[in-house]
Amino acid sequence: AHKFWSDRGVPHVTPLLPIIGNAWLFIKSMSHFDVFQKILAEFPHEPLVGAYVLTIPVLIVQDRALVEHVLIKDFHHFTDRVFPFGQKRPHELNLLNMRGKVWRAYRNKFTPMFTTSKVRNMLPQMKDLALVLLNVVQQKSDGVDLKETFVQYSLDVVASTAFGLDTGILKEEKESVFRRMIKKAHRMTTPLFISYIIHEFLPPIAKRFRPSHMRSDVVEYFSNFVKEALRSRKNGDIKRNDFLQLMVALQEEGFLEVEQEECDAYLNLQPDDKKSDQLELNDDVMIGQALMFLFVGLDATSTILMYLCYELAMNPDVQEKVRAEVKEVVRITNNMDYDTVKEMHYLEQCIKETLRLHTLSPALIRVCSSEYQFPGTEVTIPAGVKLFIPISTMHLNEDVYPEPGKFDPDRFSPETRSPPCSYLPFGDGPRMCLAIKFVMTEMKCVIAKLLMRYTIKLHSSTEIPLKPYEPSVSIAKCKRRRILFDLERLPGATC
């Protein structure tokens, strides 16, 4: 059962048991970060490393040149992340899961949501909410749970910029149903973890039983929330230049034109994939896209902000340098608009370094869609093989990042250039994160405001050093230690 990789001459992890393969590694550790670290420590110089989950072969691509082929140059062989069977439930119908021509049609429609001019228009809302955040932390500046505060901030920002709604989560004294449901949606339970493993590694079982990624009460609550938002926008007089308006406009068109390209031919091999050239834009598809805004990236944004504060607290000289930069650019422009935030280069370097040192996704995922020979090698893989690009391990590569465990924002100074595909916190190629400009602006805006008013320090209860981020798929470790901060008001701070 486990001859796939030896037949192709690919070095691989020895399967532990005849049927289980290396699945136990993934399940036992419950953190893919640890798994990739362990596997790649055994094969530090191999461009390609095979493994088996049950009897299914999976491939880890760690050579940067090959990564560039997979993500960019030969993208037409690797357009998708998930196995080819249709996603049917509303929360599954989002860009992350969509495949081939359908994905391309939606991606083209949603890309304009995040242009410079759109993000520029969102900045005033981000700034107002950053001020609300400052007022909230002012009431309790010792032992602040900044991760929780940043989740609330990011939620309010998304609600306001994408849906034109004032959810007021930052301000609420008692937890609302909305907030409770968001928490539920991010909580990993054993059935959800099993469902995740089935979806990731057991396509035949996933195709037959289609276990859900999300609790049904959460799906129902947010489906109603989105339907209501769509309905009131359609019936109301208010028109805004936001995501909800884009969805209303799309739905009014009634369908989405889907163009077939040569590389999509394989999709038609699956009977349930036969799609007409016009895709109906029903409520479920709309809900799927809207839920993507509420769930994709929310945890990532708040966690990165929290780690950035941790690193600034641990490196007071860096914190002082960022603060000086922020004060200077704000003094020159006498404002904090989009162009001012763009000028905060050192702050951006600090965020980039945080994304490297605390990479949240252990790996990018692609599924091979048609037979592929890796350039410069004898290795050929058939359609259907799942590939992992282990970015969290690649970001700690000593050859590219000397002293990889050190927080050093100068690694990203304008004079320094890292080799192609060595830095991938947002992925790369046509499927890279859609919201980079939005999320970088949102993070810079709130941190700039925080630094203008406070010195960020760690609360005495926070254990140092921190362990690397444990992704939410980890059941065993999902009870995250709370990292608390003390915020000391700067003398004369007025903002």
Task: Name the nearest CA neighbour of 156 among 133, 189, 180, 188.
Answer: 133
Q: Which residues pair with 388 in a beta bridge?
A: 60, 365
Q: How far is the CB of 174 from ligand HEM (least distance, A)?
A: 27
Residues 6+ apart with CB under 8 A from 18: 1, 2
Q: How far is the CB of 363 from ligand HEM (least distance, A)?
A: 9
| Strand locations in 374-446 (E) | 380-381, 386-389
Contacts with ligand HEM by CB under 6 A: the residue count is 23
Which of 36, 52, 150, 293 touches ligand HEM by CB under 6 A?
Answer: 293
Which listed range, 60-68, 118-126, 298-306, 329-337, lies at the site for ligand HEM (CB under 6 A)?
Answer: 298-306
- Between 4 and 114, whose beta carbon lies closer to ligand HEM? 114
Which of 152, 223, 301, 349 touches ligand HEM by CB under 6 A?
Answer: 301
**Considering the rule CB under 6 A, would residue 364 count as an interface residue with ligand HEM?**
yes
**Is there a contact between 341 and 448 (Cβ–Cβ < 8 Å)?**
yes
**Considering the rule CB under 6 A, would residue 427 count as an interface residue with ligand HEM?**
yes
Burial of 101 (0-12, 13-18, 19+ CB in 10 A): buried
- The pair phi, psi for residue 107, each rounded to 5°, is -60, -40
Which of 434, 450, 473, 483 touches ligand HEM by CB under 6 A?
Answer: 434
- Between 13 and 443, whose beta carbon lies closer to ligand HEM? 443
Q: How far is the CB of 315 from ligand HEM (least distance, A)?
A: 20
Distance CA 49, CA 103 (A): 29
List the helix and strand counts (H, then E) for the chain: 19, 10
**Considering the rule CB under 6 A, would residue 226 count as an interface residue with ligand HEM?**
no
**Considering the rule CB under 6 A, would residue 248 count as an interface residue with ligand HEM?**
no
Cis amide leading into 465 (omega within 30): yes
**Is there a contact between 169 and 152 (Cβ–Cβ < 8 Å)?**
yes
Which of 30, 304, 336, 367 touches ligand HEM by CB under 6 A?
Answer: 304
- Between 13 and 300, whose beta carbon lies closer to ligand HEM? 300
**Is there a contact between 389 and 363 (Cβ–Cβ < 8 Å)?**
yes
**Considering the rule CB under 6 A, would residue 342 count as an interface residue with ligand HEM?**
no
**Considering the rule CB under 6 A, would residue 250 count as an interface residue with ligand HEM?**
no
Q: Taking CB under 6 A as the criterion, which residues in 99-118 touch ligand HEM?
A: 107
Which of 20, 54, 95, 484 touches ligand HEM by CB under 6 A?
Answer: 95
The 377-416 contact track toward ligand HEM, x by CB under 6 A, reads ----------------------------------------
For residue 67, how many C-alpha atoms fall within 13 Å in the half-sphere facing its CB?
Answer: 24
**Considering the rule CB under 6 A, would residue 300 count as an interface residue with ligand HEM?**
yes
**Considering the rule CB under 6 A, would residue 96 count as an interface residue with ligand HEM?**
yes
**Considering the rule CB under 6 A, would residue 288 count as an interface residue with ligand HEM?**
no
Written as one string, the DSSP assignment of 212-235 is: -SS-HHHHHHHHHHHHHHHHHHHH
Which of 47, 390, 409, 425 touches ligand HEM by CB under 6 A?
Answer: 425
For residue 73, how many C-alpha atoms fall within 13 Å in the half-sphere facing its CB?
Answer: 11
**Is there a contact between 370 and 383 (Cβ–Cβ < 8 Å)?**
yes
Distance CA 127, CA 54 (A): 50
- Site residues, ligand HEM (CB under 6 A): 95-96, 107, 292-293, 296-297, 300-301, 304, 360-361, 364, 425-428, 431-435, 439
